[in-house]
Amino acid sequence: DLIVGSGGVISHAPRREQAFRMLVDSFLPEDITQIAVDSIFMMPQLGVLSSIHEAAAVEVFNKDCLVRLGTCIAPKGNYDNIDIVFDYEIKLPNETINGQLKYGEIKIIKCPYKLFECKLNAHKNLKINGKSEFNGEVYGGEIGIMLDGRGRPFALDIETENREQFIENWSKSTNEYPN
């Protein structure tokens, strides 16, 4: 339920949105998965410190090292002949955001690292945590909640029609390279 990215490329990405996309695109998490980064590339050193002073290592890890980027929601199943992946409703403090996620889309719901009520209704044969409907809570993060409708693995080869447009839309929707 949690992927923590560590290493120079992840830790030193110019934008947190880029680190988020690198981790999601590399690991292709399914269902509901929190994504975080080792912001200062200290996890190996904290492992050594924990053998000497465990409390100090845990404190540094939680306060200075771990940056919770958000949660990726990506249903499992066969995406063939699916136009709409799922309907969603996410209750933020001052508004409720709802809509439909189309096949091939990524949407980011900006919200901080805390729990938010979330209702998801997957279409056709898709499942989220083994069910077609999810009613529960999900964490936001520094980037927020990513709704990922690209399928697993997402089908993107050199012959994909509008391949460049798909990639450009994903970058825009995740704000990887703002204007």
Q: Give kind and range of the element (H or E) at residue 26.
A: helix 16-27
Nearest to 84 by CA among 132, 43, 28: 132
pLDDT tens, residue by residue, 9-19: 887 888 999 99
As a whole number, the mean pLDDT across the chain is 90
| pLDDT score recorded for residue 8 | 80
The pair phi, psi for residue 139, each rounded to 5°, is -85, 145
Confidence of residue 126 (pLDDT cuts 50, 70, 90): very high
Average pLDDT over residues 64-91: 92
Closest CA to 170 of 105, 122, 126: 105
How much is the pLDDT for 85? 95
- Longest distance between any two alpha carbons in the chain, whole Å: 56
25: Cβ contacts below 8 Å, ≥ 6 apart: none
Q: Is 22 left (phi over 0), alpha (psi -120 to 50) or beta?
A: alpha
Percentage of the chain lying above the pLDDT 90 cut: 59
Q: What is the mean pLDDT of residues 61-88?
A: 90
**Residues 164, 53: Cα–Cα separation, whole Å:** 50
- How much is the pLDDT for 80? 84
What is the rounded CA–CA span in Å between residue 68 and residue 62? 10
Please state which of the ranges 56-65, 100-109, 145-154, 158-167 shows the lowest mean pLDDT: 158-167
Q: What is the distance between the alpha carbons of residues 153 and 150, in angstroms, rounded to a whole number?
A: 8
pLDDT of residue 41: 77
Tokens of 72: 């990726």
Q: Which amino acid is at 13?
A: A
Whole-prediction pTM value?
0.89
Q: What is the pLDDT of residue 63?
A: 79
| pLDDT above 90 for 106 | yes
Q: Label residue 160 by pLDDT band (50, 70, 90).
A: low
- Estimate to the nearest angstrom the gap between the alpha carbon of 81 and the chain centroid: 24
